[in-house]
Amino acid sequence: MTHRVAIIEFINECNTYTISRTDMDDFRASHFFSGEDIPRNFRGTGSEVGGAMEAAEARGWTPVYITAAHAEPGGVITEETRAEITGECLRLLAEGAPYDGVFVALHGAMVTETDQDGDSQFLREIRSVVGPDIPLAVTLDLHANIFDELAELANIAVSFRTYPHVDMREVGLEAGLLLDDAMAGRIAPGIAIRRPPMLVGCDDGRTTEDGPMRRLLGSAAREMEARGILNVAINAGFTDADVWAAGPSVLVTHDAGARAAAEAVADRVCAEIWRYRDHWNRPVPLSDCIARLKEALPADKPIVVADYSDNPGSGAYSDCTALIAALLEAGVTNAAAGALLDPEAVARLAEAGVGAEVTLSIGGKIDPTVGGGPLQVTGRVMALSPGDFTFEGPMFTGLPGSTGQSACLRVDGLDIMLVSDRMQMLDRNIFRVVGIEPTERSVLAVKSMQHFKGAFAPMASEIIVTDAGGLCTPDVTLRNFERLRRPIFPLDPVDGWPA
């Protein structure tokens, strides 16, 4: 008998320190699909839903596509937006019932105006329609902040094992196959959760170097050899959210009868996370970044400079100008920078037209106190674009994307990509939206922490990651945490742990 499976996505990572809020315009700028628009856009893509579709085809499910909503990381989700997305999901979910299982792609660090645990809030709503008993599988970003309730509402949890996240499809497929085993009665899964008293850990989950996260994942793989252990998910956490559960966590999906073993596994992995608590790969100050850049030039391949603290992928504004100003002051040539969020400047450049010379203020308009403030420049408009593209790199492969109305402004030797919709620079096609060919530049300045490495590391002669004073500085001591559980490393002394 074929299984009827509801397939749902609701993904957003929320930074509680930004003055911005995430609303429906932000979701529509990324994607908000329902029904058969989902398979039309996700089939064959490097996404969690794409992986679930593969599981459906491999195991002969009857998939029922409900809603797929995604927005770039940003501020807390407004209640009006949460209600609209959830309401559409619940309506379609009720219309398509009954189900044998539910697949939900989440981030794990969603915060709404009505709940600091927006992911569990959403799962509660789903359970109100499908009931408490049918198996429910979730996929999670490895930067999830996981509350205990999620482990009660879901039966299966599978997190990314890569950062940059290049295994989204594989994770969706794995969660889908476990869901199939549960629906067929081969397993009766549940989830055990543990978290160490840490806000910062796992070197933020980086897997491009042989650091803590890769070693932890090796330990997790060995733990899965134990009888009844179905998956060990390690989440590095998201430090830009003031919520009770912020920080690393371990979720162990286990079969019936293996609860005690799963809890022991989670405790052991948490203890190992604690042992790596002082292993952090920090970005360099801007002045050191520029000095290193000057020493490295000229180079035979592009030097990539990452604007860590203005990463839109962590909810930063993406309009900070400090790095761009420093590159101009240093006289760097044959360089490109992007993507700087400034819809007002884009509109002025569009009005002027390609080839025009324009003097205007760019960036620094959302919160001028952060990351350099507005920058006055004179340059030539090199390109204008509606901003539509397709991801071709190892992340979101095959999915459509958009930077909104966009422009390329050449200021001295630097081409600046300005956009109307925030977009982390994690794919070479983003630069190409405005005619910038990344392989032909000596220097590429990208607004990203780590995801850029998936597309840009293979072409780079050197990578320099800098903290240029944006919202998402890694110095957590600069933030005011009011809801975070305490005591917690590195903000407080933590004595006697692990026992």
Q: What are phi and psi of 123, to 5 degrees?
A: -65, -35
- Phi-psi map region of 239: left, alpha, beta (phi>0 left; psi -120 to 50 alpha): alpha
Q: What is the mean pLDDT of the chain?
A: 97
Q: Is residue 181 part of a domain?
A: yes
369 and 299 part of one domain: yes
Q: What is the pTM assigned to this prediction? A: 0.95
Whole-number pLDDT of residue 450: 96
Q: What percent of the chain has pLDDT over 90?
A: 96
CA 158 to chain centre: 15
114 and 48 part of one domain: yes
Using one digit for the tens of pLDDT, what is the confidence trace for 69-81?
999 999 999 999 9
Q: How big is the chain, counted in residues?
A: 499
Q: What mean pLDDT is predicted for residues 446-467?
A: 97
326 and 454 part of one domain: yes
In sequence order, the β-bridge partners of residue 193 are 251
Whole-number pLDDT of residue 230: 97
405 and 292 part of one domain: yes
For helices 48-59 and 168-183, angle between their N-to-C axes, nearest 10 degrees? 40
Among 275, 298, 325, where does a domain finish?
275
Domain of 350 in residue numbering reads as 284-473
Q: What mean pLDDT is predicted for residues 87-97?
A: 98
CA–CA distance, 139 with 165 (Å, rounded to integer): 12
In sequence order, the β-bridge partners of residue 381 are 409
Q: Is residue 404 part of a domain?
A: yes
Q: What mean pLDDT is predicted for residues 415-444?
A: 98
386 and 403 part of one domain: yes
Q: Is residue 487 part of a domain?
A: no
336 and 227 part of one domain: no
108 and 41 part of one domain: yes
Q: Is residue 206 part of a domain?
A: yes
CATH of the domain at 60: 3.40.50.2300
260 and 291 part of one domain: no
Whole-number pLDDT of residue 281: 87
Q: What mean pLDDT is predicted for residues 456-471?
A: 96
Q: What mean pLDDT is predicted for residues 383-396?
A: 97
| Structure tokens given for 71 | 């927005």
Q: What mean pLDDT is predicted for residues 363-392?
A: 97
Task: Report the chain's terminal Cα–Cα distance, integer Å.
Answer: 50
Question: Which of 345, 395, 393 has its CA nearest to residue 366?
Answer: 345
| Structure tokens given for 80 | 């009006």
Q: What are phi and psi of 193, to 5 degrees?
A: -130, 140
Among 250, 275, 300, where does a domain finish?
275
Q: What mean pLDDT is predicted for residues 389-395?
A: 96
Q: What mean pLDDT is predicted for residues 315-332?
A: 97
Whole-number pLDDT of residue 438: 98
* pLDDT confidence bin for 226, thresholds 50/70/90: confident
* pLDDT confidence bin for 32, thresholds 50/70/90: very high
208 and 243 part of one domain: yes
| Structure tokens given for 373 | 């403030």
Using one digit for the tens of pLDDT, what is the confidence trace for 169-219?
999 999 999 999 999 999 999 999 999 999 999 999 999 988 999 999 999
The answer to whether the CB of 341 falls within 8 A of the CB of 317 is yes
The answer to whether the CB of 115 falls within 8 A of the CB of 79 is no
146 and 94 part of one domain: yes
Q: Is residue 382 part of a domain?
A: yes
Question: Which of 310, 340, 317, 318 has its CA nearest to residue 328?
Answer: 340
Q: What mean pLDDT is predicted for residues 309-331?
A: 97
311 and 457 part of one domain: yes
Q: What are phi and psi of 497, to 5 degrees?
A: -130, 135
Residue 225 has pLDDT above 90, yes or no: no
Q: What mean pLDDT is predicted for residues 296-324?
A: 96
Using one digit for the tens of pLDDT, what is the confidence trace for 114-169?
999 999 999 999 999 999 999 999 999 999 999 999 999 999 999 999 999 999 99
Structural domain total, the chain: 2
Q: Is residue 121 part of a domain?
A: yes
Residues 6+ apart with CB under 8 A from 66: 6, 7, 8, 34, 35, 38, 89, 92, 93, 96
288 and 267 part of one domain: no
Q: Is residue 497 part of a domain?
A: no
Residue 1 has pLDDT above 70, yes or no: no
- For the chain, the farthest-separated pair of C-alpha atoms sits apart, in whole angstroms, at 71
CA–CA distance, 284 with 468 (Å, rounded to integer): 9
Q: Is residue 161 part of a domain?
A: yes
